[in-house]
């Protein structure tokens, strides 16, 4: 038996067998353990008593994945291509049944959805954001899909920043405010952006390819970083031809940036409000831009903004 211990999203993930998409993660242990068991079985016959919570549908109308809940067994996240992931209600144990899954797709759902879900069960908050570390502080980018979060984060890494997380940022309150935890050491680029901005990417850094994205291995930061700034990416058809910064005055933008709308009990919602209030005390700005603005322009503008503000 080979037990692999890796810390991502603020969780110490102990997996048997080791998970290839977490290879290279080197963050410090947090003491929040998640034991993962992977087998070539199915849980199709074990879904009695589960109620559907939500589902994601592809543009072609087919099911992408579904989340179901059981009062004792916990949460089941599954999809036609992704196998099934049964997560205990306390977020401490996870069984991944991969019999019906594509070879690598089940790990993609694990990284993109299941582990962030477990982080919330452990009391962390997760934002739909990509993040880097600049001058020892986390800088996060929030925005809808295809707004450019990943591309901007990679551009800042090209300019010397350290990679922290892609698409999901796990935040934790500590005695000094908020810290952002390293996510998986992967960044997902849609094919058009990968071809346009990262054509020279070394083959050794490509972790996988599917019909939606190119998965790129990143050199991760070694530990959490205090949150220093958060930028809301607002790309509009009639937006300006270069990045334009303005204060983010609407608090609903932060509340809407949570990655998990499923868990809505009183404790979780109270924690979400608390985290959003702490985020609002940092530098929170909206970046307005038109469709022609690229990641190079945004990255340069963000670094100039951070330098000007000290």
The third-level CATH classification (topology) of the domain covering 127-309 is: Rossmann fold (3.40.50)
pLDDT in tens, 159-179: 999 999 999 999 998 877 899
pLDDT in tens, 261-306: 888 888 898 988 889 888 888 889 999 999 999 999 999 999 999 9
Whole-angstrom distance, CA of residue 47 vs CA of residue 70: 9
Confidence of residue 1 (pLDDT cuts 50, 70, 90): very low
CB atoms near residue 93 (< 10 Å): 17
Confidence of residue 141 (pLDDT cuts 50, 70, 90): very high
* Sequence ranges of the domains in the chain: 4-122, 127-309
């Amino acid at each position: 038996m080979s037990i692999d211990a890796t810390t991502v999203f603020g969780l110490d993930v102990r997996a048997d067998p080791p998970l290839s998409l977490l290879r290279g993660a080197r963050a410090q242990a947090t003491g929040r353990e998640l034991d993962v068991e992977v087998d070539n079985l199915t849980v199709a016959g074990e879904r009695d008593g589960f109620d559907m919570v939500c589902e994601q549908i592809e543009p072609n109308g087919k099911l992408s994945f579904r989340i179901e809940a059981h009062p004792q067994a916990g949460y089941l996240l599954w999809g036609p291509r992704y196998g099934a992931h049964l997560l205990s209600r306390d977020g401490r144990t996870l069984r991944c049944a991969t019999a019906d899954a594509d070879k690598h797709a089940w790990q993609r759902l694990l990284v993109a959805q299941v582990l962030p879900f477990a982080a919330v069960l452990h009391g962390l908050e997760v934002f739909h954001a990509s993040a880097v570390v600049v001058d020892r502080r986390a800088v996060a980018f929030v925005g809808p899909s295809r707004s450019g979060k990943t591309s901007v984060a990679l551009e800042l890494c090209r300019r010397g920043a350290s990679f922290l997380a892609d698409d999901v940022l796990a935040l934790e309150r500590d005695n000094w405010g908020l810290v952002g935890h390293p996510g998986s050491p992967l960044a997902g680029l849609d094919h058009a952006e990968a071809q346009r901005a990262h054509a020279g990417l070394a083959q050794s850094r490509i972790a996988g390819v599917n019909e939606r994205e190119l998965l790129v291995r990143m050199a991760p930061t070694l530990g959490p970083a205090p949150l220093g700034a958060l930028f809301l990416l607002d790309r509009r058809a009639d937006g300006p031809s270069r990045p334009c910064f303005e204060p983010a005055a609407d608090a609903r933008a932060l509340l809407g940036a949570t990655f998990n709308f499923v868990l809505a009990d009183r404790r979780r919602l109270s924690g979400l409000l608390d985290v959003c209030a702490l985020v609002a005390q940092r530098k929170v700005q909206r970046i307005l831009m038109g469709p022609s603005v690229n990641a190079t322009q945004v990255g340069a503008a963000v670094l100039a903004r951070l330098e000007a503000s000290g």
